[in-house]
Amino acid sequence: MLEIIERIEDYTGTYFTSLTLPFDQRQKSRLRVTLDNGNEASLILNRGVVLRHGDLLRSACGEVIEVRASLESVSVVHELNSHLLSRACYHLGNRHVPLQIGDGSLCYLHDHVLDDMVRSLGLVVEHREASFEPESGAYKNDGKHQHTHEH
C-alpha cells in the first residue's frame, strides 16, 4: 500500500494521481484512503495538518499526489449588509462551526439547525453542492513547528 508521508511545496513535475476528500477527512493526519485512480493508500502526515485543495503530497517512494476538495452539501449565505453577515459569522463561530468567508458571503457544511438560526437573523440560506474550504483560524497549525527554542 502506498504511504503518503508529507506535504510538499514548489513542485513542478508531473503528478502520480490525485486524492479527492471532503473537508472532515482533509483534517485527519492518519487515514486509509482510495486515490482517484482506485489504488489504496495511507495518509501518515504530521499531526495538525489540514489539507487544502491543490496541496501536493509525497509518498514514501517519491510519488506526488494532488489533493482535491470533493463536492459537499453546503449552506451558503450572500449578504451585502456587512452587519448582518458579521452577526451570522459571530453566532456560527460561537458554536465553533468552520466557516468559509468570502466577500459578502459565508458558507458552512449544511445543517438544518444552523440554517434555521441564520434565517432567524434575517438572512437567506441557499443549499448547494460545492467544495468547502473554511478559514484556517487564528491559531493555524499546518503541522509545521511554529516557533524557535531560543526562549
Same domain, 88 and 118: yes
Gyration radius (Cα) of the chain, Å: 18
Q: What is the pTM of this model?
A: 0.82
Return the closest-CA partner of residue 131 out of 78, 76, 64, 94: 76
Domain boundary among 35, 52, 69: 69
Structural domain tally of the chain? 2
Instruction: Give me the pLDDT at residue 15, please.
Output: 85
* Mean per-residue pLDDT pooled into runs of 10, the chain (151 residues): 93 90 96 96 93 95 96 98 97 96 97 98 98 80 43 38
Give the CATH number of the domain where residue 103 resides: 3.30.70.790
Q: Cα(19)–Cα(76) distance, rounded to whole angstroms?
A: 25
Three-class DSSP category at 60: coil
Shared-domain flag, residues 27 and 52: yes
pLDDT at 13: 83
The burial of 4, by beta-carbon neighbours within 10 Å (0-12 exposed, 13-18 middle, 19 or more buried), is given as buried
Full residue range of the structural domain in which residue 80 is found: 71-131
Query: 87 and 120 in contact (C-beta within 8 Å)?
Result: no
Write out the DSSP string of 6-41: EEE-S--S--SEEEEE-HHHHT-SEEEEE-TTS-EE
On whether both 90 and 109 belong to a single domain, the answer is yes
Q: Tell me which residue of 102, 122, 103, 119 sits closest to 111, measured CA to CA.
A: 119
Does a structural domain hold residue 92? yes
Beta bridge partners of 34: 40
Does residue 146 lie within any of the structural domains?
Answer: no
Considering the domain architecture, whether residues 43 and 83 belong to the same structural domain is answered as: no
The helix or strand, by DSSP H or E, that contains position 116, with its residue range, turns out to be helix 112-120
Instruction: Please check whether residue 85 lies inside any domain of the structure.
Output: yes
Is there a domain that residue 39 lies in? yes
